[in-house]
Amino acid sequence: MSIKMKNIICIVSLSIFLFHFAQAQFQRTPEQDSLFARMQRKTQADFEQMRKQLGLTVPNRPGPSGNPDAPNAANREESKVNSYTLPDPLLLKNGKKVKDAKTWWEQRRPEIVEDFEREIYGRLPQNIPSVSWQVVAVKDTIVGIFLGKEKTLKGVVDNAAFPSIKVEIEMVLVTPAKQQEAVPVVIEFGFIRSPFGNMPPITPIGLGSAGEPTWKEQLLSKGWGYAVIVPNSIQADSGAGLSEGIIGLVNKGQPRKPDDWGALRAWAWGASRAIDYLETDKDVDAKRLAIEGLSRYGKAALVAMAFEPRFSLGFIGSSGAGGAKILRRVFGEQVENLASSAEYHWFCGNFIKYASILTPNDMPVDAHELVALCAPRPVFISAGSPHVEGQWVDAKGMFLGGVHAGGVYKLLGKKGLESAEFPPLGTPLVNGEIAFRQHAGGHSTGPNWSTWIAWACRYWGNGKYFD
């Protein structure tokens, strides 16, 4: 695929992602419209072939609408939330209770991992090719008032087994320029450059952090570094893209099997490969690495934290359904949305069943167990105001994902959320290894960065650069 075509696909994908925030700012060209139509056809064909593999003849149930004025609007009222029973993360499949850490690590945790891999996020293939990291460029940079050293990196995936698909992971690493020793680093799933070209920067709606330094400035001020890894350079964010990227390369362009990995697991795999590089960089303290992401990238960040033990901290932003939100809870986005042709590519094919012949109540796991897989490492769950961000991501549902993971943290000698009562807007619950705060802004982690950094200092120390 040409660079031009990749850029167009990225523009189309991001146009969909940013539609509600920037509908008036971005107009697709006829060429992009044509590509979008082709992508939709290819996506639908892949979606239908997966349903055929699963033997599904019952149509998928339609998901609710995020438009509160739509006839099928998603539930936004607590009084209408259904009752449900969650799987017990401390109950073995043979019915015995988990009473000690040894049983958790050797028996129960592997059971939960197997369920998530088979039914939700998919399995990592055995034949994933190796990644060779290259330092493309090194330069001095200025971030706000802070001096940094910026490295542009490229992770080249060995495609000798199928040369027609090329995968190069894009990442930028910035560390304080005056550092005397290796520093902690936060890896963000995000973008290095705007795919829309040289346009004025977009200010996300309702950030609620006017006048506050950017997250990058705040990290550098602590003497910490950051890296930005580009998910679309690992795996395209569309069903049409499943025949390309790392998933397409491993499958040699052929369709997935029902338990093959989806985009969320692929992005998380890419973050693990980023750690492989960071462990070799003398500027980085690879024992103090965190993963951060927002929205779909918040989902990916939680998946990465759950499956990659080398991450010591997590910052999970507005991850919603498919992330920290309880999937059985009928509020906001639902499994039927996730398992539709618009989002099924994030998950393994088996996940589609739960919007057709099965329901979320049939799932062997739920989001609290994904959080529990992170234990005993600290995880911060972030959300925005329902008045600005909206209720689609279900802040309380994410909070409950943290609450119900607490038993595992306690078993392992750590503290979960300090309260099981949903806190007032802006209240930080930061006295445990599971933390939560719903800030007053919109769909962003921005207003929670200062809270997260203060919380992270408990585990990483206060920093030495500007303290």
Q: Is 24 inside a domain boundary?
A: no
In the chain, the percentage of residues whose pLDDT exceeds 90 is: 87
Domain CATH for 302: 3.40.50.1820
SS3 224: coil
Q: What is the pLDDT of residues 333-347, one digit of tens each?
A: 999 999 999 999 999
State the pLDDT at residue 332.
99
User: Worst-scoring range by mean pLDDT, 31-45, 276-290, 353-367?
Assistant: 31-45
The first and second tokens of residue 340, run together, are: 């539709």
Q: Is 46 inside a domain boundary?
A: no
Q: What is the pLDDT of residues 400-459, one digit of tens each?
A: 999 999 999 999 999 999 999 999 999 999 999 999 999 999 999 999 999 999 999 999
- Is the distance from CB of 372 to CB of 89 less than 8 angstroms? yes
Q: Is 25 inside a domain boundary?
A: no
User: Worst-scoring range by mean pLDDT, 14-23, 129-138, 284-293, 303-312?
Assistant: 14-23
State the pLDDT at residue 104.
99
Containing domain of residue 394, as a range?
114-460
pTM above 0.85, yes or no: yes
Q: What is the pLDDT of residues 230-251, one digit of tens each?
A: 999 999 999 999 999 999 999 9
The domain total for the chain is 1
User: Residue 126 pLDDT > 70, yes or no?
Assistant: yes
Average confidence score pLDDT of the chain: 93
State the pLDDT at residue 355.
99
Q: Is 353 inside a domain boundary?
A: yes
Confidence of residue 13 (pLDDT cuts 50, 70, 90): low
Q: What is the pLDDT of residues 167-184, one digit of tens each?
A: 999 999 999 998 889 999
User: Residue 189 pLDDT > 60, yes or no?
Assistant: yes
Q: Is 134 inside a domain boundary?
A: yes
Q: Is 173 inside a domain boundary?
A: yes
Q: Is 54 inside a domain boundary?
A: no
Dump the DSSP string for 375-412.
Answer: TTS-EEEEE--TTTT-STT-HHHHHHHHHTTHHHHHHT
State the pLDDT at residue 388.
97
Q: Is 84 inside a domain boundary?
A: no
- Is the distance from CB of 242 to CB of 248 less than 8 angstroms? yes
Q: What is the pLDDT of residues 285-321, one digit of tens each?
A: 999 999 999 999 999 999 999 999 999 999 999 999 9
Contacting residues for 126 by C-beta, under 8 A, at least 6 apart: none
User: Residue 211 pLDDT > 90, yes or no?
Assistant: no
User: Residue 26 pLDDT > 90, yes or no?
Assistant: no
- Is the distance from CB of 451 to CB of 212 less than 8 angstroms? no
Q: What's the whole-number mean pLDDT along residues 146-161?
A: 98
State the pLDDT at residue 28.
80
- Nearest residue to 65 (alpha-carbon basis) of 56, 76, 53, 74: 74
Q: What is the pLDDT of residues 345-367, one digit of tens each?
A: 999 999 999 999 999 999 999 99
State the pLDDT at residue 202.
44
